Amino acid sequence: MSRPDPSACLNLSSSRTRQLLVGGMRQDFPIFEHPMRGKRLVYLDSAASAQKPQVVIDTVQRFYTEEYANIHRGVYELSEEATQIYEGNREKVRRLINAREIREMVYVRGTTEGLNLLAATFGRQRLGEGDEILLTEMEHHSNIVPWQMLCEQTGAKIVVAPITDDGALDMDAFEKLLGPKVKLVSVAHISNALGTVNPVKEITRLAHDKGIPVIIDGAQAVPHIAVDVQDIDCDFYVFSGHKIYGPTGIGILYGKAELLEQMPPYQGGGDMILTVSFKGTTYNEIPYRFEAGTPDIAGAIGLGTAIIYVQSLGFDAISAHNDKLLNYGTELLQEIPGLRLIGTAPEKVAVLSFVMDGIHPHDIGTILDSRGIAIRAGHHCAQPVMERFNIPATTRASIGIYNDKSDLDALAEGLREVRRMFG
Amino acid sequence: MGDLRDLYQEVILDHGRRPRNVGNIAPPCSHADGYNPLCGDKLTLYLRIEDDTVSDVKFEGAGCAIFTASCSLLTEALIGKSIEEANELCRRFVAMSTTPVEEECDTEGLGKLGVFAGVREFPARVKCATLAWHTFENAVRGSGESAQTE
C-alpha cells in the first residue's frame, strides 16, 4: 500500500519563499481563522510554543485515522507501516541538523527530557565530587535544574559564565572558567529570554581543546536558523518539536554515536532491551536503548512533516523574514516612551523582551490580550536572567514565520494604549 | 465580552499607582505573607486588632496594578470592621472574583470593590486580585501560614 505523504503536496518552489518574505505564512495556519477576544489573533509567543500548519495537523490526523498501530511489535501490515513511517522520520531529523547517522537521533519528549536524560546517564557516569559543570547566566531552567539535581547526587558543582549588559555571553569570562575541573559544558544555542545567539562553534572548540564534552540546548535555534551539528562539532544537541511548528510531546536528542554507545540506559522498559530474564537483561542498541515504552508515534510523524514544511521555505528565507521583523519591531518599540529592551546583543533572533517604566508586565500582557495580542509576561523560566538585569519579569514578543509587519504595528499600538492608560 | 476598561478602571489605576496604607505596624497583632509564584506578586499584611475590631491594616508588597490596587483597597475596606464583618467581606470578595464570567456576580454592598468583577474576563489575573484577601484570612487566623495561589 503506497502512502501519499501530506508533506509531498508542499510546493518546493520559490513562490512560497517569496510569500514568506512578503507577508508571512499565516494562511497555512488554521488557528488564525479563529479570533482571540473577538479580534484578529496576533500571535507573538512562538518562543513559548509555535502554532501548527495545516499540513502537520493533517499528517497527525491521517496517522490516527488510517495508519495507526504500535511500532516495532506487530507482524501485521499496519504495524509494519507505522514503524516504517516513524523510523523514516529519523532521516528527516538527521537532514535537518546534518548529523552523520540516523542512529544518532534519539526521540525524547522534548528539550527538557533530553537534558534530563543526559544528566541522568552521561552526567551520572562522568561526574564526581568536586567536578564542575559550566553553564551560562542565560540558561532556561531546564538547562539548570537537571544539573543541580545531578550535583546533589554526585557532589559536582555548577559554574556560571556571566553575560554582558547587552545580553551577550562574556566569552573572555567563559574561557577563563573552562578550568581543569570542568567536565561538561551545557549552553543554549539561542536564549529564550533575550534572543541572543551564542557562538556555539567557538564554545565547542574551546571546550574540546581541553577535552571537555559540550551539550547544546537548541530549543530556540532549530526553528530559526540552519543547524549543522557536524560543523558545530558539539557532542549533544537537544530540541523540541513544538517550537518548530510540530506537535507537542516529541523532541530530539542528538548525540555522537560513539558517546551514545558508551552511555547507560535512561528508563527501563519495552523496546530498550534485546533480552530480558530475571537473571539479567541485555540492552538494545542505540538509539532504541534510550527509548523505553511506546513513544509519541504520532508526534514523531508530525515532527517529520513540520521539518519538511520548514525546509520547503528554506532557512535563508526564514532568517531574512525574521531579521526584517526583528529590526522593524525593534525600531517601533524604541519609539514607545519609557520602554527599555532587555537583550540587545549584536547576534540576536526572534525575541523582543522589554520592560516599561512603572508598569508590571502582567498588566501589559492583559491589556494586549484584550486586543487579541498574545505575548508572554514573566520570567520566561530564566529567573537568573531576570536577576542579572535586576528586574522581576519582562514582557516578551517573539516572532514566527506566520508573523508580518502588521502584527508588530498592532503590538506597538497596544503598547501606546498601555502607556496612555497608565500615564 | 467585557471591555478592558471594566478591569482597568480609574480606581484600579489610581490605587495601583498610589496605594494607600503601605508600610508595617510595629508590633502587629498579627501578620501573614502572600505569594503568587506564577507572576511573582508578593506581600506581607500587618493587622492590629482591638476589641474584635480591625483597627489598622498595612501592607508591604510588589506586583502588578491589579494586585497592588487590591491590597490598597483591602486596607481601606477593612479598617474599622469587626472581625466577623471583615471575614464576611473577604468571603464575598473572593466569591465575586471567582464567579464564572457567564453568571451574574453579586457586587451588592461591595462598593468600590465591585470593579474587580472585571477580572473574571481574564482568568490568569484572578489570583492577582484575590491574593491579599486570602492573606488577610490567614493573618486573622493567626496561622502563620503563607497564602499561596499555586
Distance from CA of B101 to the nearest CA of A (A): 14
The nearest alpha carbon in chain A to B8 belongs to A421
Distance from CA of A33 to the nearest CA of B (A): 19
Q: What's the whole-number average pLDDT of chain A?
A: 94
pLDDT score, position A223: 98
Out of A379, A393, A421, the one facing B13 most closely (by C-beta) is A421
- Domain positions in chain B are 4-141
Q: CB A360 to CB B4 under 8 A?
A: no
Question: pLDDT grade, residue A1 (50/70/90)?
Answer: very low
Taking Cα atoms as reference points, which of A303, A299, A268, A296 lies closest to residue A282?
Answer: A268
Q: CB B65 to CB A359 under 8 A?
A: yes
pLDDT score, position A196: 98
Q: How far is CA A420 from the centre of its chain?
A: 36
Burial of B123 (0-12, 13-18, 19+ CB in 10 A): exposed
- Helices in A190-256 by DSSP H: which ranges? 200-209, 229-232
| pTM for this entry | 0.92
Q: For residue A156, give the amino acid letter.
A: A
Q: Is A398 strand, coil or helix?
A: strand
Sheet strands (E) in A312-350: 339-341
If you average pLDDT over residues B6-34, what whole number do you get? 90
The nearest alpha carbon in chain A to B63 belongs to A360
If you average pLDDT over residues B97-125, what whole number do you get? 90
Q: CB A367 to CB B40 under 8 A?
A: no
Strand partners, B57: B47
- Reply yes or no on domain A77-311 having CATH 3.40.640.10: yes
Contacts of A370 in chain B (CB under 8 A): 3-4, 121-122
Distance from CA of B124 to the nearest CA of A (A): 9
Catalytic residue among A9, A151, A234, A381: A381
* Model confidence pLDDT, tens digit, residues A69-119: 999 877 899 999 999 999 999 999 999 999 999 999 999 999 999 999 999
Name every residue in B having a CB less than 8 A away from some CB of A. 1, 3-4, 7-8, 13, 16-17, 38-40, 62-66, 121-122, 124-125, 128
- Our answer to whether residue A381 is catalytic in this structure is yes
Burial of A159 (0-12, 13-18, 19+ CB in 10 A): middle
Question: pLDDT grade, residue A5 (50/70/90)?
Answer: low
Query: Does residue B39 have a pLDDT over 80?
Result: no
A164 contacts: CB under 8 Å, gap ≥ 6? A170, A345
For B4-141, which CATH class?
alpha beta
Strand partners, B60: B44
Q: For residue B46, give the amino acid letter.
A: Y
* Model confidence pLDDT, tens digit, residues B40-91: 789 999 999 999 999 999 999 999 999 999 999 999 999 999 999 999 999 9
Question: pLDDT grade, residue B107 (50/70/90)?
Answer: confident
Using CB atoms and an 8 Å cut-off, which of residues 19-58 of chain A contact chain B? Answer: 37-38
pLDDT score, position B124: 87
- Domain positions in chain A are 42-51+314-418, 77-311
Size of interface A-B (CB pairs under 8 A): 49
* Model confidence pLDDT, tens digit, residues A235-281: 999 999 999 999 999 999 999 999 999 999 999 998 888 999 998 88
Contacts of B38 in chain A (CB under 8 A): 378
Taking Cα atoms as reference points, which of A196, A70, A205 lies closest to residue A136?
Answer: A196
Using CB atoms and an 8 Å cut-off, which of residues 387-406 of chain A contact chain B? Answer: 392-393
Residue listed under C-alpha cell 518562543: A47
* Model confidence pLDDT, tens digit, residues A158-191: 999 999 999 999 999 999 999 999 999 999 999 9
Nearest 5°: CA angle at B84, between B81 and B86? 45
CA distance B29 to B140: 9
What is A42-51+314-418's CATH topology? Aspartate Aminotransferase, domain 1 (3.90.1150)
CA distance B56 to B137: 15
Question: pLDDT grade, residue B1 (50/70/90)?
Answer: very low
